Amino acid sequence: MQKIQDIRHSFAHILALSVKELYPDARFGTGPDIENGFYYDIKTKNPVTNDDLKRIEKKMREVLKRNVSFKKKLVAKAEAKKIFKDQPFKLEILKDLEGDKVSVYETDNFIDLCKGPHVDSTEELNPDAFKLEKIAGAYFKGDEKNSMLTRIYGLAFATKKELDDYLKLKEEAEKRDHRVLGEKLGIFMFDDEVGSGLPLWLAKGTLLRNIIKDYLYRELISDGYDFVETPHIGKLSLWQTSGHWENYRENIYSPIDIEDEKFLLKPMNCPFHVKIFKHKQRSYRELPLKMAEFGTVYRFERSGTLHGLTRVRGFTQDDAHVWCREDQLKTELAKLLKQGLKILKKFGFKEYSIYLSTRPEKYVGTDQGWEKATATLEQVLKDAKLEYNIDPGGGVFYGPKIDIKVKDTLGREWQCTTIQVDFNLPDRFQMSFINDKGEKERPYMIHRALYGSLERFIGVLIEHYAGAFPFWLSPVQIKILPVSDKFNKYAREIKEELKEYRAEVAEEKETISKKIREGEMEKIPYLLIVGEKEKKAKTISVRKRGKGDLGAMKIKKFKEIINKE
Amino acid sequence: MQKIQDIRHSFAHILALSVKELYPDARFGTGPDIENGFYYDIKTKNPVTNDDLKRIEKKMREVLKRNVSFKKKLVAKAEAKKIFKDQPFKLEILKDLEGDKVSVYETDNFIDLCKGPHVDSTEELNPDAFKLEKIAGAYFKGDEKNSMLTRIYGLAFATKKELDDYLKLKEEAEKRDHRVLGEKLGIFMFDDEVGSGLPLWLAKGTLLRNIIKDYLYRELISDGYDFVETPHIGKLSLWQTSGHWENYRENIYSPIDIEDEKFLLKPMNCPFHVKIFKHKQRSYRELPLKMAEFGTVYRFERSGTLHGLTRVRGFTQDDAHVWCREDQLKTELAKLLKQGLKILKKFGFKEYSIYLSTRPEKYVGTDQGWEKATATLEQVLKDAKLEYNIDPGGGVFYGPKIDIKVKDTLGREWQCTTIQVDFNLPDRFQMSFINDKGEKERPYMIHRALYGSLERFIGVLIEHYAGAFPFWLSPVQIKILPVSDKFNKYAREIKEELKEYRAEVAEEKETISKKIREGEMEKIPYLLIVGEKEKKAKTISVRKRGKGDLGAMKIKKFKEIINKE
């Protein structure tokens, strides 16, 4: 059986061949396989639009029926120049190729400059398992100084079922798109004049953030963590000492000059926490010393890679550092792993994959140190009887790590929890504690984030729940809907009785059916309708999200229901 | 009676005269009066040190007894050059003076280039009402390219009592210095490698911040405010539109370049809040729209002016904006004023001064707009029957304001609450709402901060309470001190019973007297001692801060006491 990449790549050639038949003047850029499909960049006198996709698709099916083969040939460069004399982009690509000979693929009357591999013939391509998807503009070689080409995207799979499944998943994912829901539910917004990748949190989003932060805050305070708060800028030299400047600079923003010194918008919190550790001489009695912060960090991402809340330029980590003695390391790591899994479960993620990431290409520290730390992490996973994958070279420059990726309702994986062993920063910052023999000793350092980034975590939560958050997590848990103005006062009394919950009264001058519709659109767990009947009987009529009418009841009864949530 | 400034300025000359007699080679810079006293910058071959101050003071008293007069003369510049031929700094100053003639003052055998005024003779200077204070280095004309001179500082008042009162206040203020207490109580720290003016909040400080923020958060949520959270950077153009870039640039840090666009570390939150207001069409039904954020802003201050938490380079404002219709303006301002005073009272500030600040030199908007807004603010103060002072020209560039300065225990004034009317930003950002006639209308905008800056507010609170915070505000309210290890378990049980409070157990291996001493140093409101006797009787022995031993009691009884706090 053919590799799916070869199938997709071959579809790209069939696309080009079909475009050539429909648009004889077409000039071709490149056409690779990509995730779920393929694309081809082309230039035609009459630009191809989305309206033309059906026609091109039809032509492709026609071509597939012809039973065409993919023939590879090695030709001299001079020969290739002749073949592609009418294809300026191909000639351009040809210039960059090394060696005397290049490979070309011939498919019917279309010949392409291409390394391959491909399927042998169109018999291996299922005409029901592909679909042209959309059109976009793309600069040749991705450089805006070059011509703008039209990129035609296609989806392609081995079987029709796979294509159908993918389309269904995509449709479902679009319905859950956190960028759309986040705006609709009043959670966050972006604004071009503020800047790309910089979310502004609206009232309900800020509430949601606070609920999520509060939950972890309480967990960590009762677990003996110290919460700290550190600045958003600091001297560049801090990150030179930590090694981030050398190993991570491409993600750090340009320095700010203050009185002839360079300051960075903080790309990570660690050096500040180290400074707090170091501000007094620590004793072994203080270890494990656990320090946490909801620390907002800023990291450069190209504007093309930004995506809603899941890839931003500034985000808040639920960051923490644990310093401990060598003999405490395994126990502390095991606790952190357990805590991470507990928290993900609390937020409704039942499935996850665990990755153990080993030494990357750019790293600091000794091989021995790396081996020992990696072995400790692996032992912790084994002791907990957890399945895990190895991610070779996926570690941070200062040490190996365990990552937990959660699976959302649609089965997509999202990086959340990370637990990283670091035996390098303590060295670089010359950290020490006085051990039980009265001598100075270097502590071990663990970096960990459970949610990861609050922004991404909330983005994932929105999609996971399609905006219908569980009761405890809903920014507004209860909305009280007076049937008319006359019952606003009674509605406010009900709100007062429910003051330990997040309840709102809908006092707008709207019909009750519009109020119900709006409450449902806002995905509020409980809507309480109050009118003449309810006021008289001192009851409320309860509608539960996804369940509908629960009937009229006393507040006490309603509280019993929601206390079970 | 002489003005105190003239007295202080005259003391400066007496200082110079005395130095000249003791150090005949002395070269003089300038010697003005300052707050609480005076200084003179001098250069001598043998540098004057702090050890010499007593001797100089003695000489000054000798001079004062001589009954010397201060004689003013107008002399031609050429004549002045001759007089000061041996005084290079005076010649330097002379160059910068305009006009043909200059004034000099003669006091005994000292003659100074000086505009005056002065007292007539030393008879008007009380020899018991001055004191030389300290020595510092100072560049001539404040320019580091010039010579370094020795600055001798002196205190001077009209009467001995005033001097004594000042010295007493200073001693008391030093004991309360938040920079010392803040470190000792584990509230915050600074670190040279992090950067000047950038506090790092330690565990207890972060707790204190959270208590202070939580209190206001609850107040504002129940008052219908929307809390939002906005980024720490944004495009430069936002503050160009707001006018801050033009009118406030000296306090804004240099821009950061991101993909060829300039971003600022936010100097203020307003443009973000405006963006949130504008992200949908607002209706008059939504007004007053109240938006709050604990927003951290960064503003440049020269390193020389930084001071602990009270003058920093990054601070968190309890920022809020209220948008309303013109006819709602007065009511909203009155509510904000009331809320401001309520909150200051909650934090133990009983005295305050109110200032109404009018149009500054740099401003935007029309004269008519300024007059109307200022009149509205003044009317609000009059309606509330509050005394106030006018601060002419003290307004912000976009509008007039009311400031409240609290008086701390030592009678010092601190700027906290500010309420600012703004009829300009809504114009500049083209804000609108749909009024009840279905037309677009420009809203009014109020900027307000009640604490002001959380950093300064906490600095002031530490000094106001000398670190002994009231019960509700104490990061640790209760500390349970087991007499020995044996009672750690019982201590933890007590902590569990007090879990609605912020309680700690002192499990260190220390004697009980050391534990008590430490608890007192940490200024914890209640210390609970538990040993054999208490464990058996299921009681605790209570020590109240500032009161001492309250005896043994049951937890229930103790809860009754603290619930009255």
| B275-294 pLDDT per residue, tens | 999 999 999 999 999 999 99
Out of A228, A232, A256, the one facing B201 most closely (by C-beta) is: A228
**Residue B472 touches chain A, beta carbons under 8 Å:** no
Q: Do A231 and B194 touch (CB under 8 A)?
A: yes
Q: What is the pLDDT of residue A99?
A: 87
Lookup result for tokens 């505009």: B115
Window 186-205 of A: residues touching B by CB (8 A cutoff) are 189, 191, 193-195, 198-203, 205
SS3 B200: strand
Q: What is the DSSP letter of A485?
A: G
Lookup result for tokens 């390098």: A424
Is A447 known to be catalytic?
yes
Out of A206, A232, A256, the one facing B296 most closely (by C-beta) is: A232
Is A52 known to be catalytic?
no
Q: From A241, which residue of chain B is nearest by alpha-carbon distance?
A: B193
**Residue A388 touches chain B, beta carbons under 8 Å:** no
Q: What is the DSSP letter of A501?
A: S
- Contact pairs from chain A to chain B, CB under 8 Å: 143
Provide the residue type at A404 as one letter: I
Chain A residues touching residue B277 (CB < 8 angstroms): none
SS3 A171: helix
Please tell me which residue in B319, B403, B408, B422 is annotated as part of the active site: B319
Out of B234, B276, B300, the one facing A258 most closely (by C-beta) is: B300
**Residue A472 touches chain B, beta carbons under 8 Å:** no
Torsional sign, CA B513, B517, B518, B520: positive
pLDDT-derived band at B249, boundaries 50, 70, 90? very high
CA distances from A506 to A348, A486, A503, B373, B388 (A): 30, 13, 10, 34, 41
Contact A295, B206 (CB under 8 A): no
Q: What is the pLDDT of residues B35-81, one digit of tens each?
A: 999 999 999 999 999 999 999 999 999 999 998 999 999 999 999 99
Q: What is the pLDDT of residue A284?
A: 95
Residue ranges of chain A whose pLDDT lies below 50: none
Q: Do A279 and B314 touch (CB under 8 A)?
A: no
End-to-end CA distance of chain B: 50
Q: What is the DSSP letter of B435?
A: -
**Residue B276 touches chain A, beta carbons under 8 Å:** yes
Interstrand relation of A289-298 and A226-227 (parallel, antiparallel or unpaired): parallel
> Span B250-277, mean pLDDT?
95
Chain B residues touching residue A508 (CB < 8 angstroms): 285
C-alpha atoms less than 13 angstroms from C-alpha of A84 in its C-beta half-sphere? 27
Chain A residues touching residue B276 (CB < 8 angstroms): 189, 200, 202
Interstrand relation of B540-544 and B548-553 (parallel, antiparallel or unpaired): antiparallel
Residues A152-174 as b or e (16 or more Cβ within 10 Å = b): bbbbbbbeeebbeebeeeeeeee
Asked if residue B318 has pLDDT above 70, the reply is: yes
Nearest-neighbour CA in chain A from B424: distance (Å): 19
Out of A259, A298, A313, the one facing B303 most closely (by C-beta) is: A259
Is A324 known to be catalytic?
no
- Choose among B95, B53, B57: nearest CA to B77: B95
Q: At what angle do helices B203-222 and B329-346 cross, to 10 degrees?
A: 140
Q: What is the pLDDT of residue A409?
A: 86
B117 prior amide bond cis, ω within 30: yes
- Taken as a whole, chain B contains a residue count of 565
3-state DSSP helix/strand/coil percent for chain B, to nearest 5?
40, 30, 30
Contact B426, B404 (CB under 8 A): no
Q: Do A201 and B237 touch (CB under 8 A)?
A: no
Q: What is the pLDDT of residue A470?
A: 97
* Alpha carbons A514 and A520: distance in angstroms, whole number: 10
* Alpha carbons A445 and A453: distance in angstroms, whole number: 20
Is B114 known to be catalytic?
no
Is B270 known to be catalytic?
yes
Contact B181, B458 (CB under 8 A): no
Q: What is the pLDDT of residues B341-395, one digit of tens each?
A: 999 999 999 999 999 999 999 888 889 989 999 999 999 999 999 999 999 999 9
Give the ipTM. Answer: 0.85
* Alpha carbons B321 and B293: distance in angstroms, whole number: 9
Chain A residues touching residue B230 (CB < 8 angstroms): 200-201
* Alpha carbons B419 and B446: distance in angstroms, whole number: 7
Interstrand relation of B130-139 and B110-113 (parallel, antiparallel or unpaired): unpaired
- Choose among B301, B565, B342: nearest CA to B456: B301
* Alpha carbons B478 and B555: distance in angstroms, whole number: 12
Report the C-alpha dihedral over residues A322, A327, A333, A335, rounded to 10 degrees. -90
Q: Do A237 and B272 touch (CB under 8 A)?
A: no
* Alpha carbons A312 and A334: distance in angstroms, whole number: 31
Q: What is the pLDDT of residue B144?
A: 86
Cβ partners under 8 Å of residue A435, min gap 6: A284, A325, A441
> Span B93-106, mean pLDDT?
92
Q: What is the pLDDT of residue A1?
A: 55
**Residue B284 touches chain A, beta carbons under 8 Å:** no
Cβ count within 10 A of residue B451: 26
Out of B227, B296, B314, the one facing A203 most closely (by C-beta) is: B227
**Residue A136 touches chain B, beta carbons under 8 Å:** no
* Alpha carbons A152 and A131: distance in angstroms, whole number: 11
Q: What is the DSSP letter of A250?
A: G
What pTM was computed for the model?
A: 0.85
Nearest-neighbour CA in chain A from B300: distance (Å): 8
Q: What is the pLDDT of residue A471?
A: 97
Contact B39, B30 (CB under 8 A): no
Is B232 known to be catalytic?
no
Provide the residue type at A472 as one letter: W
**Residue B314 touches chain A, beta carbons under 8 Å:** yes
CA distances from A12 to A38, A60, A224, B26, B136 (A): 6, 10, 58, 90, 78
> Span B153-173, mean pLDDT?
94
Q: What is the pLDDT of residue B304?
A: 87
Asked if residue B1 has pLDDT above 80, the reply is: no
Is A427 known to be catalytic?
no
Helix (H) or strand (E) holding B545: none
The rounded percent of chain B whose pLDDT value lies above 90 is 91
* Alpha carbons A334 and A328: distance in angstroms, whole number: 10
**DSSP annotation string for A363-409:** --S-HHHHHHHHHHHHHHHHHTT---EEETT-SBTTB-EEEEEEE-T
- Choose among A346, A416, A354, A399: nearest CA to A380: A354
* Alpha-carbon A264 to chain mean position: 25
Out of A194, A202, A229, the one facing B228 most closely (by C-beta) is: A202
* Alpha carbons B294 and B221: distance in angstroms, whole number: 13
Which of B191, B260, B507 is best to mutate for the A interface (most A CBs within 10 A)? B191
Out of A200, A233, A254, the one facing B298 most closely (by C-beta) is: A233
* Alpha carbons B276 and A200: distance in angstroms, whole number: 8
Q: What is the pLDDT of residue A144?
A: 86
SS3 B263: strand
Cβ partners under 8 Å of residue B521, min gap 6: B184
Out of B198, B238, B279, the one facing A231 most closely (by C-beta) is: B198
Provide the residue type at A285 as one letter: R
**Residue B238 touches chain A, beta carbons under 8 Å:** yes
Q: Do B272 and A194 touch (CB under 8 A)?
A: yes
Q: From B275, which residue of chain A is nearest by alpha-carbon distance?
A: A191
> Span B494-504, mean pLDDT?
95
Please tell me which residue in B6, B43, B273, B317 is annotated as part of the active site: B317
Lookup result for tokens 């700010």: A256
Tell me the average pLDDT of chain A.
95
Cβ partners under 8 Å of residue A374, min gap 6: A356, A358, A359, A395, A400
Chain B residues touching residue A191 (CB < 8 angstroms): 275, 279
Chain B residues touching residue A254 (CB < 8 angstroms): 256-258
Chain A residues touching residue B508 (CB < 8 angstroms): 285
* Alpha carbons A13 and A39: distance in angstroms, whole number: 9
Q: What is the DSSP letter of A85?
A: T
Q: What is the pLDDT of residue B549?
A: 95
Main-chain phi, psi angles of B340, to 5 degrees: -60, -50
**Residue A305 touches chain B, beta carbons under 8 Å:** no
Contact A110, A17 (CB under 8 A): yes
- Choose among B223, B475, B469: nearest CA to B347: B469
CA A91-A94-A99 angle, to 5 degrees, is 155
